[in-house]
C-alpha cells in the first residue's frame, strides 16, 4: 500500500469552515479539534457522573452473542472504572454499508489509541449502531461495478411497517441469494470463497439487518477492541429513562433553540441540515404501525397520521415504565449519547458535523458541553487497474475527484474524428441539396413535394453513415476509452466519492480481508485532508 493526502476542494462549506474558521467553531462548538482541547474535556468529564458499571454490563450483554475479544473485554472493564470514549456511529447497512462506515470505525480506533498514549488515561473506541432508524431504503442495497456500469442492487423483500433496522427481520433464503449474487458481480478471486463463506455464516446466524451488520463489523475489528452497541438495544433504553424525561420536559425549549440556531446557520450560508420545526418533539414513538415521529400541539405530543395523542404526564409514564417505546431523532441522539457515555470525542462525517453545529445551546441547557468533534478519515482506494488507467490517460487523482474525467474523455474522443470523412459527408450533403434544388425548379408541385421527401431520406442515410462511422471509431479505440470509464466508475461512481457508494467487500474481494488491518497500520492523517490509498 502507498499513501498520499491532499485537501479535497469538494465545495462543502461546513467542513471548510470547521477545519479553518475559528469564528465558526467558537459560534457553534465548545471545543476546537486540537490537542489542547483534550485535557479541558477530560476535566469536564471528571466533574460529571455516569452509570459506568451499568453501561459496561449493557455493552457486555449486547456483544456477547457476537463474541468479545480479550482486548474488548479489557476495554469494557476500563469503561466500568474510569475510561472515556471516542465514539462514532452509523446505520446498519448490508455488507457493512458504504466504505465510510469502515472509515469511521478506523478513525475511532486510531484516535482512541492516539489519545490513550498522549493523555495516559484509558480511551476506549466505541461504535454506536443507529439500529433505531427505520428507513430501510437507505440500507437495503449494495452497489457493484460490472460491464462498465455502476449498478444499485436492492434487497427486494418488502416491509409494510416502519420497522427499525434492529427489528426488521430478513428472509434467510432471500438474503443468501442476494449476497451470492452480489459476490458473483464482484467476480471470482482467490479471496472470494473465504469472504463469501464468512458473510453467509453471518446471514445464517443473524435475523435482523442490525445483527447482520454487527456480526460483520465485529469480525473485522474485534482484535482492536472496538466496542459495539445498538442504540435500539432494550437494556440501553432502560438506562435512558432519566434522559427521556428530560427531553420531554424541555421539548419546547429544545425545538426553539434548534430552530433559532438553524436560522442563524442558514443566514451564514450553511443551509438547514435538520429543517427544524418549532412544534417538533424530537422524539419517535414505537407504534403498532412502526416507528413514528412525534410533534407537539396544544400541549400534547401527537402523531396525527396514526392518531397518537399523549399528555406530557402520559409521555413521562412511557419514559419511566416503557422507555424502549421511545427513540431519539437526529437532534436528541447526540445529547443522549453524551449523557450516557463519557464522550471524549465524537467522530462524524460532514453531514453529522453540520447538524451537530445546531446543538450547542441544547447541550448547555442540560448543563454539559459538546464533546470534541473529530471529522472521520476520508479515503479513496485506488486499485492497480485504476492506477494503470490514471497513468495511461495522464490524469491525477485530484483531476479525477474534482470531476474532470468526462471532460478529458470528450477531449480525447474529439481527437479521434476522421476529419476527411466528415468533410466528404458535408460536401455530399451540400451537393445533394444543390442538385435537388435544381430539380425542384423544373418539377411540378406534386413532384416537388416528392423531391423534398426523397432529399430528407438521403440526409437520414448520410446521418446513419456518420453514426456508424462514430460507432466504429469508438469501438476501435474502446480500450483507451474504457480507461476513462474505469476511473469514473471506481473513483467517482455516480459522481460521488467512492466511500459513499461501494461496500468494502468489493475491495476485500480483490485485496483480501487484511485490507482493514493494513489500513489501520497506515499513518492515516486525521486533519480533514482526503487520504488516497494505492492498493
The dihedral sign for the CA sequence 353, 47, 50, 214: positive
Mean pLDDT rounded to a whole number for the chain: 92
Cα–Cα distance between 81 and 87 in angstroms, integer? 17
C-alpha grid cell, residue 156: 427486494
pLDDT of 445 > 70? The answer is no
With CA atoms as reference, report the closest residue to 103 among 344, 336, 350, 270: 350
Question: How much is the CA Rg of the chain, to the nearest whole Å?
Answer: 29
**Of 386, 374, 408, 528, the residue nearest 10 (C-alpha):** 528
What pLDDT is stored for residue 473 in this prediction? 64
Report d(CA 69, CA 220) in Å as an integer.
12
**pLDDT tens per residue, range 119-141:** 999 999 999 999 988 889 899 99
| CA-CA-CA-CA torsion sign (456, 462, 466, 469) | positive
Confidence at residue 462, expressed as pLDDT on a 0 to 100 scale: 78
Residue 408 has a pLDDT of 86
Evaluate if residue 413 carries a pLDDT over 80.
no
pLDDT digits (tens, 9 = 90+) for 523-532: 999 888 899 9
Residue range 53-60: average pLDDT?
A: 98
What burial class does residue 522 get, using C-beta atoms within 10 Å of its C-beta: 0-12 exposed, 13-18 middle, 19+ buried?
A: middle
Tell me the C-alpha distance between 229 and 60, whole Å.
9
Return the pLDDT at 433.
84
The CA distance from 179 to 206, in Å, is 14
Q: Say how far residue 503 (Cα) sits from the centre of its chain.
A: 10
CA separation for the pair 300, 309 (Å, rounded): 6
Provide the 8-state DSSP code for 529. P
- The answer to whether residues 303 and 294 touch, using CB atoms and an 8 Å cutoff, is yes
pLDDT band for position 428 (cuts 50, 70, 90): confident
Place of cell 400541549: 299
- Please give the pLDDT value at position 477: 59
Q: Is the dihedral of CA 237, 241, 242, 248 positive or negative?
A: positive
H helix intervals, 157-250: 172-186, 192-205, 209-221, 234-239, 241-249
Which is it for strands 149-154 and 227-230: parallel, antiparallel or unpaired? unpaired
Average pLDDT over every residue of 136-147: 91
| Among 291, 282, 278, 268, residue whose Cα is nearest residue 354 | 268
pLDDT at res. 416 = 67
94-128: pLDDT as tens digits: 999 999 999 999 999 999 999 999 999 999 999 99
Q: What is the pLDDT of residues 448-481, one digit of tens each?
A: 778 788 888 888 887 877 777 666 766 655 667 8
Q: What is the DSSP string of 413-480?
A: HHTT--HHHHHHHHHHHHHHHHHHHHHHHHS-HHHHHHHHHHHHHHHHHHHHHHHHHHHHHHHHTHHH
| pLDDT confidence band for 285 (50 / 70 / 90) | very high
Residue range 380-410, pLDDT digits in tens: 999 999 999 999 999 999 999 989 998 888 8
What is the rounded CA–CA span in Å between residue 169 and residue 184? 24
Q: What percent of the chain has pLDDT over 90?
A: 78
Query: 446 versus 287: which is more confidently predicted?
Result: 287
H runs (alpha helix) in 5-98: 13-20, 22-28, 37-46, 52-63, 70-81
Task: Give residue 446's pLDDT.
Answer: 62
Residue 273, pLDDT above cutoff 60: yes
Q: Which residue has the cell 420545526?
A: 277
Nearest residue to 25 via CA among 235, 268, 242: 268
Q: Which residues pair with 145 in a beta bridge?
A: 150
For residues 479-488, average pLDDT: 85
Q: Could you tell me the CA-to-CA distances from 444 to 234, 440, 449, 450, 453 in Å, in that order?
A: 90, 8, 9, 10, 15
Give the single-character DSSP code of 215: H
Cβ atoms of 196 and 206 closer than 8 Å: no
DSSP 365-400: HTT-PPPEEEEPPEEEEE-HHHHHHHHHHT--HHHH
Q: What pLDDT, on a 0 to 100 scale, did the predictor assign at position 11?
A: 64
Q: Indicate if the pLDDT at residue 491 is higher than 60.
A: yes
The b-or-e profile of 193-207 (16+ CB within 10 A means b, else e) is: eebbebbbebbeebe
In angstroms, rounded to a whole number, what is the distance separating the alpha carbons of residues 80 and 449? 92
- Inform me whether the pLDDT recorded for 318 exceeds 60: yes
**Cell numbers at 316, concatenated:** 413521562
- Beta carbons within 10 angstroms of residue 444's beta carbon: 8
C-beta separation of 232 from 256 below 8 A? no
Low-confidence winner among 157-161, 198-202, 506-510 (lowest mean pLDDT): 157-161
Q: Are strands 280-287 and 290-297 parallel, antiparallel or unpaired?
A: antiparallel
pLDDT at residue 316 in the model = 98
Amino acid at each position: 500500500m502507498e499513501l498520499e493526502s491532499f485537501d479535497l476542494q469538494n465545495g462543502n462549506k461546513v467542513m471548510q469552515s470547521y477545519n479553518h474558521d475559528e469564528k465558526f467553531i467558537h459560534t457553534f462548538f465548545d471545543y476546537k479539534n486540537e490537542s489542547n482541547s483534550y485535557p479541558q474535556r477530560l476535566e469536564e468529564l471528571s466533574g460529571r457522573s455516569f452509570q459506568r458499571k451499568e453501561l459496561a454490563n449493557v455493552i457486555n450483554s449486547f456483544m456477547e452473542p457476537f463474541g468479545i475479544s480479550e482486548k474488548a473485554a479489557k476495554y469494557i472493564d476500563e469503561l466500568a472504572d474510569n475510561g472515556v470514549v471516542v465514539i462514532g456511529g452509523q446505520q446498519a447497512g448490508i455488507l457493512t454499508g458504504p466504505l465510510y462506515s469502515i472509515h469511521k470505525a478506523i478513525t475511532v480506533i486510531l484516535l482512541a489509541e492516539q489519545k490513550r498514549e498522549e493523555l495516559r488515561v484509558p480511551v476506549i473506541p466505541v461504535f454506536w449502531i443507529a439500529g433505531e432508524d427505520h428507513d430501510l431504503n437507505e440500507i437495503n442495497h449494495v452497489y457493484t461495478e460490472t460491464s462498465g456500469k455502476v449498478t444499485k442492487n436492492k434487497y427486494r423483500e418488502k416491509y409494510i411497517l416502519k420497522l427499525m433496522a434492529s427489528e426488521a427481520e430478513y428472509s434467510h433464503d432471500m438474503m443468501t441469494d442476494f449476497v451470492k449474487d452480489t459476490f458473483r458481480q464482484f467476480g471470482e478471486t482467490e479471496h472470494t470463497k473465504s469472504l463469501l463463506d464468512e458473510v453467509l455464516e453471518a446471514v445464517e446466524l443473524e435475523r435482523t439487518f442490525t445483527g447482520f451488520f454487527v456480526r460483520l463489523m465485529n469480525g473485522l475489528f474485534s482484535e482492536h477492541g472496538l466496542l459495539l452497541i445498538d442504540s435500539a438495544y432494550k437494556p440501553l433504553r432502560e438506562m435512558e429513562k432519566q434522559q427521556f424525561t428530560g427531553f420531554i420536559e424541555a421539548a419546547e425549549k429544545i425545538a426553539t433553540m434548534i430552530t433559532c440556531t438553524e436560522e442563524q446557520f442558514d443566514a451564514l450560508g450553511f443551509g438547514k441540515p435538520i429543517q427544524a420545526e418549532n412544534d417538533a418533539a424530537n422524539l419517535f414513538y414505537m407504534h403498532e404501525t412502526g416507528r413514528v415521529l412525534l410533534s407537539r400541539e396544544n400541549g400534547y405530543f401527537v402523531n396525527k397520521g396514526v392518531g397518537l395523542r399523549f399528555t406530557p404526564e402520559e409521555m413521562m409514564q412511557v419514559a419511566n415504565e416503557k422507555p424502549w417505546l421511545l427513540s431519539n431523532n437526529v437532534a436528541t441522539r447526540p445529547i443522549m449519547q453524551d449523557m450516557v457515555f463519557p464522550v471524549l470525542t465524537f467522530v462524524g462525517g460532514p453531514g453529522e458535523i453540520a447538524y451537530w453545529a445546531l446543538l450547542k445551546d441544547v447541550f448547555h441547557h442540560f448543563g454539559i458541553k459538546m464533546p470534541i468533534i473529530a471529522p472521520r478519515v476520508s479515503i479513496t482506494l485506488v486499485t492497480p487497474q485504476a492506477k494503470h488507467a490514471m497513468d495511461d490517460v495522464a490524469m491525477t487523482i485530484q483531476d479525477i475527484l474534482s470531476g474532470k474525467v468526462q471532460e478529458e474523455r470528450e477531449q480525447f474522443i474529439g481527437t479521434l474524428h476522421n476529419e476527411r470523412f466528415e468533410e466528404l459527408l458535408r460536401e455530399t450533403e451540400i451537393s445533394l441539396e444543390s442538385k435537388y434544388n435544381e430539380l425542384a425548379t423544373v418539377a411540378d408541385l406534386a413532384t416537388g413535394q416528392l423531391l423534398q421527401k426523397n432529399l430528407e431520406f438521403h440526409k437520414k442515410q448520410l446521418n446513419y453513415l456518420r453514426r456508424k462511422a462514430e460507432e466504429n471509431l469508438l469501438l476501435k479505440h474502446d480500450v483507451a476509452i474504457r480507461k476513462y470509464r474505469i476511473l469514473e466508475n471506481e473513483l467517482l461512481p455516480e459522481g460521488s466519492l467512492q466511500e459513499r457508494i461501494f461496500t468494502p467487500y468489493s475491495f476485500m474481494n480483490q485485496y483480501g480481508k487484511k485490507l482493514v488491518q493494513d489500513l489501520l497500520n497506515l499513518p492515516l492523517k486525521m486533519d480533514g485532508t482526503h487520504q488516497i490509498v494505492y492498493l
